[in-house]
Amino acid sequence: MTQQADDTTHFGYQTVATEDKVEKVAEVFHSVAAKYDVMNDLMSFGIHRVWKRFTIDCSGIRPGQKVLDLAGGTGDLTAKFSRVVGSQGHVVLADINDSMLKVGRAKLRDLGIEGNVEYVQANAEALPFPDNHFDLITIAFGLRNVTDKDKALRSMYRVLKPGGRLLVLEFSKTEQALLSKAYDFYSFNILPGMGKVVANDADSYRYLAESIRMHPDQETLKGMMQDAEFEGVEYFNLTGGIVALHRGYKF
């Protein structure tokens, strides 16, 4: 469960009141928004672009379709989907954090991407869209920050069209012992310092490292998606399981 019996939840390794988590996560992303893209490249050594390209390849998206890029941040996936769906299609870049949305909007407009993209500030747990609306929903590196993940998955299922698919790209668990040790050392000893130097914010990147460890593993998330009525759920481990792409369908 994402929420504990005493109405508390996890914020990284801290236990906080459930009602306070959204604000705390918002503070993190308000702080890192301006340097988000730079830090993504530095943190992952550019590999996040490969993970996102694999997500695009697994999307099955076609011209004229509707896409929801949830927790879409600075719009990397939105930019790709905008070009694929074309002028007859529609992409919604949704994020709960207005600072991230502003950075994403400015970035995509600088790239000349307008017309078929809409920007919506939205909470994944209560999506402000009609039932059976989208052909595809993606959420990349955002689900671990959601307070009630089960509620969010049900909300995604509701707004997805029959025959549509959900793609969840998220940090996950590697079972390779040496890789796990190296990854932990990097996450807790190198990453916060990098965040301090580049974004002037070590604490936010310490939280990001902790939030990854608190996120459900591959099989648990698969079960959560199935509980939310998604069918044909499968996952693909990337970079030794440091990241996993989960895919599920609404039939």
Q: What is the pLDDT of residues 124-146, one digit of tens each?
A: 999 999 999 999 999 999 999 99
Q: What is the pLDDT of residues 193-207, one digit of tens each?
A: 888 887 778 888 888
Arithmetic mean of pLDDT, 14-30: 75
Fold classified for 8-175+206-249 = Rossmann fold (3.40.50)
The helix (run of H) or strand (run of E) holding residue 38 is helix 36-44
Question: Under 8 Å CB-to-CB from 68, ≥6 apart: which residues?
Answer: 91, 92, 94, 127, 129, 133, 134, 136, 137, 138, 156, 159
pLDDT for residue 5: 47
Q: Largest Cα–Cα distance of the chain, in whole Å? A: 49
Question: What pTM was estimated for this model as a whole?
Answer: 0.87
pLDDT band at 30, cuts 50/70/90?
A: low
pLDDT band at 44, cuts 50/70/90?
A: confident
DSSP string spanning 127-186?
--S-TT-EEEEEEES-GGG-S-HHHHHHHHHHHEEEEEEEEEEEE-----HHHHHHHHHI
β-partners of residue 7 are none
Question: Mutual orientation of helices 191-199 and 202-214 as an angle, nearest 10°?
Answer: 140
95 annotated to bind ligand: yes
What residue ranges do the domains of the chain occupy?
8-175+206-249
Q: What share of the chain is helix, strand, coil (3-state, %, to 5)?
A: 50, 25, 25
Q: Residues of the chain with pLDDT > 90: what percent?
A: 67
Q: Bigger pLDDT: 53 or 38? A: 53
94 annotated to bind ligand: no
Arithmetic mean of pLDDT, 142-165: 96
124 annotated to bind ligand: yes
Q: Residues of the chain with pLDDT > 70: what percent?
A: 94
pLDDT for residue 231: 98
> Can you read off the two tokens belonging to residue 124?
């994944």
User: What separation in angstroms does the CA of 12 have from each of 15, 114, 209?
Assistant: 8, 36, 8
71 annotated to bind ligand: no
Arithmetic mean of pLDDT, 106-111: 95
Arithmetic mean of pLDDT, 43-52: 92
pLDDT band at 7, cuts 50/70/90?
A: confident
Arithmetic mean of pLDDT, 29-58: 84
